[in-house]
Structures are given as structure tokens and as C-alpha cells.
């Protein structure tokens, strides 16, 4: 169960990571829209798991791998933004958010009947 502090920090990180991916980091893949759908922070605030929603490509695993590869650079940008709010900038781990694909599959199955 998430504490209030974890929830507030997760929302802060979600907003700032979204802006960093759009403005400061070179595109993860040209012509692909990447958004942060959810961030989960560990109880000790040392690790943040960010879930990416990826539109416009079938190679979603490659985009996630590239995000994990440059996570140190992204963490540096994040540190500059939240240095006055957090003592420790969490390590970043990126995962694919497949909830939209799941919803689309359920919708397709319902419409087939």
C-alpha cells in the first residue's frame, strides 16, 4: 500500500518525467509518441518504476530498452528539476504499459460476439 508521501512523489515524478521525455531528451524513436502513464515509488524512495505508453510503433520493447539505456541521463535532468524537493533522486526503471492494448483486445472480443 502506498503512503501519501509515495503518492505525492510519484505524481511529481510522473509530471516531470513526461516533460523531460518531450523536451529535453533526444526522441526515443522518431515519429513515436511516448507518455508516462504511471510511476510507482519504492517505500524508501530510492527506486521509481515508470510505465511508458507508446504509440506509433510495433517495436515497443526497443523503445523501452532505449529508455532504460539512457536512464542515467534522464535521472540527471530529473535531478535538476526536483533537487529542492527531494534529497535522493530515485533510480529510474522503465516498463511498457500494456493496459491500453489489453483494453483494446477486450473491446475487440466484445464487438466480435
pTM: 0.84
27-79 pLDDT per residue, tens: 888 888 889 999 999 999 999 999 999 888 788 899 999 999 999 999 999 99
Q: Report the distance separating Cα 113 and Cα 109, nearest Å.
A: 7
Q: Does the domain at residues 4-112 carry the CATH identifier 3.40.630.40? A: no
* pLDDT reported for residue 101: 72
Per DSSP, the three-state class of 62 is: helix
Q: Report the distance separating Cα 58 and Cα 72, nearest Å.
A: 25
Domain boundaries defined on the chain: 4-112
Amino acid at each position: 500500500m502506498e503512503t501519501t508521501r509515495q503518492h505525492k512523489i510519484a505524481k511529481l515524478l510522473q509530471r516531470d518525467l513526461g516533460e523531460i521525455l518531450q523536451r529535453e531528451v533526444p526522441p526515443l524513436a522518431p515519429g513515436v509518441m511516448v507518455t508516462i502513464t504511471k510511476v510507482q515509488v519504492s517505500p524508501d524512495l530510492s527506486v521509481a518504476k515508470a510505465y511508458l505508453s507508446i504509440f506509433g510503433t510495433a517495436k515497443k520493447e526497443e523503445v523501452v530498452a532505449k529508455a532504460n539505456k539512457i536512464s542515467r541521463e534522464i535521472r540527471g535532468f530529473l535531478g535538476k528539476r526536483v533537487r529542492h524537493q527531494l534529497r535522493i533522486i530515485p533510480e529510474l526503471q522503465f516498463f511498457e504499459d500494456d493496459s491500453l492494448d489489453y483494453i483494446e483486445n477486450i473491446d475487440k472480443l466484445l464487438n466480435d460476439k
